[in-house]
Structure 1
Amino acid sequence: MLPAMVARPHSAFDVLPQGLHHVSLREFRDVFAYNDHRAWLFEGLVLACRALRQAGCGRIYIGGSYVSSKERPGDYDACWDPAGVLPSLDPVLYDDNLALERRQIYRGDLLIGGAHDGPAGENFRFLSRDKVTHEERGMVGMKLNILELLNI
């Protein structure tokens, strides 16, 4: 279960408290896909999660305005853990030259990076900070469960 959103100085929207908050995909949908626009973005996230899981990815992390109280975020910002991912992964999910195509297909920003130290964790750390204030804010972590992805 996710904690309540908190107000931050210099922020127009409430955000998750600092830290990584783990939920299921269903719980994530129930909390964040609460209007038509957010549901449309969520559909793109689910497509990305299915493609990532099919290639062996086990976890994804979501930050940015989608996991805030903003009524109409422009997209979602996520990074996925590269551990165990097979070379069969669609290049659109990792090739920065295909970022526009990635946004068109999956409706959000998807970066490589897990919640760990080292170069692979840089994108995670980037997404966990407010773009304006640079304060750390909460992110959501999800285990990519194949059965849940097929039934959502």
Structure 2
Amino acid sequence: MTNSFYNIIVVIMIPPLISLSGSPWTVLPPGIHPGSLEDVETAFATNSWRRQLFDGLVDAAGQLRSAGCGQVYLDGSYVTGKPRPNDYDACWEPAGVDGQKLNPVFLNFNNGRAQQKATFKGEFFPSSMICADVGRAFVDFFQFDRFTGKEKGIVSISLATDPILS
């Protein structure tokens, strides 16, 4: 009798940050990098302030998931080498979202998104919403460094399967 065994282990890790000539901090390499909230925590919740930002992100992600959102894209100085980012930027996939269950703060863009920042310590946009400044959907706009205009990466988080939200 012959026994055959195999094990398929899939590890998703956020890649190491890279230098981008002209940018003040290291950034994610170009592309959309899948990761879990736990991966984000490991990579970016590296001091007490960044931990507070992460806690706001988890709260927001849970509320978005409860409204039917399946995907969040994380950007901003939070996913860079900046030691003390002011906040994080995120956009969420609107497909499948029940507007009746969506916290209205996710659609409040007044006063520089002050209510979003007060509630979640970050800013949120529907991923397909066009950023008026550049004429691109936020999910695309987020993939360019604001200092250099060069491509950089963002993190995608699948809310439906994320263990922290389960």
Same fold (TM over 0.5): yes
The question of 1:131 aligning with 2:146 is answered: yes
Superposition pairs for residues 1-150 of structure 1, below 5 Å? 1-88=13-100, 89-97=102-110, 99-113=113-127, 122-145=137-160, 148-150=163-165
Q: Deviation digits for residues 30-64 of structure 1, max 9, x if unmatched?
A: 11101001000001101110110000000000112
Residue 94 of structure 2 aligns to a residue whose secondary structure is coil
Residue 49 of structure 1 aligns to a residue whose secondary structure is helix
Residue 128 of structure 1 aligns to a residue whose secondary structure is coil
Q: Deviation digits for residues 76-132 of structure 1, max 9, x if unmatched?
A: 011000010001201111232372111100001111115xxx959701112111112
Q: Structure 1 residues 23 and 147 mapped into 2: Cα distance closer, same or farther (>3 Å)?
A: closer
Kindly state the Cα deviation for residue 147 of structure 1 after the two structures are TM-superposed.
Answer: 6.2
| Residue pair 1:55, 1:85 contacting (<8 A) in 2 also | yes
Q: How much identity, in percent, do the aligned residues show?
A: 39
Residue 6 of structure 1 aligns to a residue whose secondary structure is coil
Kindly state the Cα deviation for residue 145 of structure 1 after the two structures are TM-superposed.
Answer: 3.4
> Per residue, is there more helix in 1 or in 2?
1
| Residue pair 1:24, 1:142 contacting (<8 A) in 2 also | yes
Residue 136 of structure 1 aligns to a residue whose secondary structure is coil
| Residue pair 2:108, 2:115 contacting (<8 A) in 1 also | no
- RMSD of aligned Cα (Å): 1.9
TM-score by length of 1: 0.89
TM-score by length of 2: 0.82
Q: Structure 1 residues 147 and 3 mapped into 2: Cα distance closer, same or farther (>3 Å)?
A: closer
Distance in 2, Cα, partners of 1:147 & 1:124: 20
Structure 2, unaligned runs of 5 or more: 1-12
Residue 7 of structure 1 aligns to a residue whose secondary structure is coil
| Residue pair 1:53, 1:146 contacting (<8 A) in 2 also | no
Distance in 2, Cα, partners of 1:127 & 1:31: 19
- Structure with the greater alpha carbon radius of gyration: 2
Distance in 2, Cα, partners of 1:110 & 1:140: 14
